[in-house]
Amino acid sequence: QVQLVESGGGLVQAGGSLRLSCAVSGRTWSTYATGWFRQAPGKEREFVAAEMWTGGNAQYTDSVAGRFTISRDNAKNTVYLQMNSLKPEDTAVYYCAARWGRGSRQPGEYVYWGQGTQVTVSS
């Protein structure tokens, strides 16, 4: 069993930065790949970033590539999403998710989800 708890969301002006954290519990977490997704009001949940293997190569949706970075600290059982140069269109609830083995861009392929953290970017 894996449990995820996100934190770090908030209100920031356009051009600013935030770092989201996802605290992970579970004895075999090191074998899981993690991803970040977001959902804006009235829209479907969309892929943001994921590590394709545990701590391995990452993929990003085009709209955040070069601005966001996913990383993990196994010693702290935490996954991060560093978000720079934020834009109003980045406003959404952000979720971290985990699945055993290889990462994925598809939210339906993730088994474990956090409760989400709100990110609001003002113009």
User: For residues 111 and 123, what is the distance between their CA atoms, to the nearest angstrom?
Assistant: 35
- Say if CB 117 and CB 21 are below 8 A apart: no
What pLDDT, on a 0 to 100 scale, did the predictor assign at position 27? 67
What pLDDT, on a 0 to 100 scale, did the predictor assign at position 55? 62
Q: Where does the pLDDT of residue 100 fall: very low under 50, low under 70, confident under 90, or very high at 90 and above?
A: confident
Q: What is the DSSP string of the chain?
A: --EEEEE--EEEETT--EEEEEEEE-TTGGGEEEEEEEE-TTS--EEEEEESSTTS-EEE-TTTTTTEEEEEEGGGTEEEEEE-S--GGG-EEEEEEEEESS--S-GGG--EE---EEEEEE-
What pLDDT, on a 0 to 100 scale, did the predictor assign at position 52? 78
What pLDDT, on a 0 to 100 scale, did the predictor assign at position 71? 92
What pLDDT, on a 0 to 100 scale, did the predictor assign at position 111? 93
What pLDDT, on a 0 to 100 scale, did the predictor assign at position 54? 63
Q: What is the pLDDT of residues 37-87, one digit of tens each?
A: 999 999 999 999 998 776 668 999 999 999 999 998 888 989 999 999 999
Q: What is the pLDDT of residues 4-39, one digit of tens each?
A: 999 999 999 999 999 999 999 876 677 788 999 999
